[in-house]
Amino acid sequence: MKKTITLTLLCFLSVISVFAQDQLDRNCGVMENLEFRKQQDPDLEKRMQRIEAFTQNKIQEMQMNRVDGNIITIPVVVHVIYRTSQENISDAQIQSQIDVLNEDFRRTNADADNAWSQAADMEIEFCLASVDENGNATTGITRKSTTRTSWGTNDAMKSSAQGGVDPWDTSQYLNMWVCNIGGGILGYAQFPGGSAATDGVVMGPQYFGSSAKGSGFYLSAPFDLGRTTTHEVGHFFNLRHIWGDSNCGNDFVADTPTHQTSNGGCPIGQVSCGSTDMVQNYMDYTNDSCMNLFTQGQKDRMRAVLEAGGVRRSLALSDKCGGGTPPSPTCSDGIQNGDETGVDCGGSSCAPCQTACSDNEVNLSITFDNYPEETAWTLTNSGGQTVASGGTYGNQADGSTYTEDLCLPDGCYTFTITDAYGDGICCSYGNGSYSLTDASGVLASGGSFTSSQATDFCLGGSPAPTCTDGIQNGDETGVDCGGSSCAPCSTPGTTVLNEGYFETGWDGWSDGGGDCFRYNGSNSYEGNYSIRLRDNSGTRSAMTSPAFDLTGFDQVEVEFYFYANSMESGEDFWLRYYNGSSYSTVASYASGTNFNNNTFYTATVTLNSSQVNFASNSRFRFQCDASANADQVYIDQVTIRGINGSGRVDTIRALGGTTRTENVLESEEDFTIFPNPVKGNTLFVKMPGNTKASFRIINMLGQTMMKGDSVKEINVSNLKSGMYFLEVNDGEETMTKKFIKQ
């Protein structure tokens, strides 16, 4: 009888064991780690939001000018931390994982199929680093024995002080830690924007490598084909889970279908949120054998952080895959080494390059704002060739000053400084500035611009400027004099006529009346203030610029940012131009055609002197023409430029964000919330006139956490501590406030 019971129990336990294995689900700890890191680093959220804005802008640039065939190779170092001999996985198992990464990211994987037409080659490859941080040859693998049974998701394995292994230079290597994480977690990654001290990906040893590429490996089905690492490296390059970690959430990729939640197993044909789930995508939770693709949209997102200005750009430029000691730097290798200034001396340190300048000594000084990683510059000669460049400066401290000496032969040049985010380097996020000087004084200077600022200048014994030399000199205004100073002449260049940020006032613009209002709140693109126009009450729904003398320009460009709210399809606003005698509409923007509500846009309008009269008292006017039911458009960061030359065209593009998180709604017309911060369980909302409204609570990643039809009292007890947005809709208007849950 005892034997029978024992046998029966063993059979029962076997069934349970098989059942448990069949039900084994993928579990990624990336969001758990993110929440931990946000608690440790209060500025992380802000950095990630700015990276997101940069990513969306870069994606639009890439879509307009797509260039394929540029293969990026990422050096990898694998830190194996083991307690048992099984956890001390072999070099062959590690190499099998590198092979899988290369196949998956280049779409040469044997299981690739045509089920999804948007599947794409990421053009990213990986190698085990062959050069360590000291320039010595290496296998790209480190090993460390430990008595620790599990490590969790709080990055202890990344610190030698906690018994783990410190990362190699994270700007040059993709660090991978292989250790037993515990808690059912297969792996996790750090999103772009986190600390360099913890940057990289972590995987359990039984999920690192592929059983299809060798025998005797320590691997656990159904996650034994290397796709856990593919998944985590996707996060490392800024991909989100395909379901957006929310019910029918947003993964910030346009060509992946919306998922209700994660999928396990391989439920091909699963339908949710009105579309077929892409269960084969590497960013779902399906079995390794089910996964086989990234999409073109995911490629654009990953490549954005590797492009110029991206936070992982240095990895794309790393030379740690080369054999032996990396080549000695030269002054023309495109890498900043010491005090090199652009002359190729061929020396080992490049320090002696350009130690004496026999031409024109020019000093560049840049004081950064709070985001030096967004700043870059180029210097081109009159033939359009780049003679010097720099940036971005992710290794510089916020607010620090960078200087560089340039040695330039006689000639004419254009200095262009750029900001990847589009808000210059002064003054919304730090008081940055730049100057380019020589012995005669300042050649170029500034700081308050949008995406870029260009200045032309000439040096030394170059030919005296003329009105046809293509260089802007002083106050040239359009008459061909042929003289040495060319003061009355007009040659290509740009003059900023007006900048309207509205932070301290109207910046020269005038208030049209009751339906025009200087607004303070999150619908402002930069800073806190913008100009709100609403309804269609003529000039009362308008803002008008000061007068400009445009008679000396070939073109005039108006660049502005806007955000529309509650405008029905077809309702529009205009940009109007006064030519000295009358106003005419020069641009019109209609809801549903040119823009959508609740999204920031940037637009430029260009007028040509050959088509409209440029008068000495020209003006511009923004005017709303929507119906009289609280339809609103918010105009911000208006820059008017006079241009000598041609080639500018009208543009409009969405900026991707739906709210500017740096701002706080304080307008007299807004609803009120209290208490803030919320220390208890209830957030109280007071609407003007006790208006009824629905609400939605959104976290800092744009995910919907709560929603409801009654906004008077909201129970927020289930929200974790942190910052959130309360979005309120009264049927005509959507308003947003930021609050903190303690």
Active-site residues, by number, are 232
Q: With contact defined as beta carbons under 8 Å apart, do 545 and 621 qualify?
A: yes
**Cβ neighbours of 710 (radius 10 Å):** 11
DSSP symbol at 122: -
Return the SS3 of 365. Answer: strand
- Please, what's the b/e burial string for 256-273 (b: 16 or more CB within 10 A of its CB; e: otherwise)? bbbbbbbbbbbeeebebe
According to DSSP, the β-strands at 433-438 and 411-419 are: unpaired
CA distance 473 to 481: 13
What the block records as the tokens of 116 is: 């999804």
What the block records as the tokens of 18 is: 């098989």
Q: What are the beta bridge partners of residue 606? A: 557
Question: What separation in angstroms does the CA of 413 have from each of 409, 410, 460, 693?
Answer: 10, 9, 12, 58
- Name the one residue in this structure whose structure tokens are 């910052």: 723
- Please, what's the b/e burial string for 188-226 (b: 16 or more CB within 10 A of its CB; e: otherwise)? bbbbbbbeeebbbbbbbbbbbbbbbbeeebbbeebbbbb
Q: With contact defined as beta carbons under 8 Å apart, do 239 and 283 qualify?
A: yes
Three-state SS for 301-327 is HHHHCCCCCCCCHHHHHCCCCCCCCCC
Q: With contact defined as beta carbons under 8 Å apart, do 529 and 502 qualify?
A: yes
Question: 44-64 and 296-304 helices cross at what angle (nearest 10)?
Answer: 120
Residues 6+ apart with CB under 8 A from 72: 123, 124, 125, 303, 306, 316
What the block records as the tokens of 359 is: 């031409």
For 393, half-sphere exposure in the C-beta direction (CA atoms, 13 angstrom radius) is 24
Complete DSSP assignment for 545-574: PPPB--TT-SEEEEEEEEEEESPPTT-EEE
CA-closest candidate to residue 424, choices 532, 559, 305, 607: 559
CA-closest candidate to residue 589, choices 607, 611, 567: 567
What the block records as the tokens of 306 is: 């590797």
CA distance 684 to 99: 55
CA-closest candidate to residue 305, choices 239, 238, 240: 238
CA distance 81 to 79: 6
CA distance 396 to 100: 36
What the block records as the tokens of 425 is: 């380097």
**Cβ neighbours of 679 (radius 10 Å):** 9
Q: With contact defined as beta carbons under 8 Å apart, do 31 and 235 qualify?
A: no
Return the SS3 of 110. Answer: coil
Residues 6+ apart with CB under 8 A from 521: 528, 663, 664, 665, 666, 667, 670
CA-closest candidate to residue 131, choices 314, 327, 336, 394: 327
CA distance 267 to 280: 9
Find the largest Cα–Cα distance for the chain: 116
CA distance 208 to 299: 23
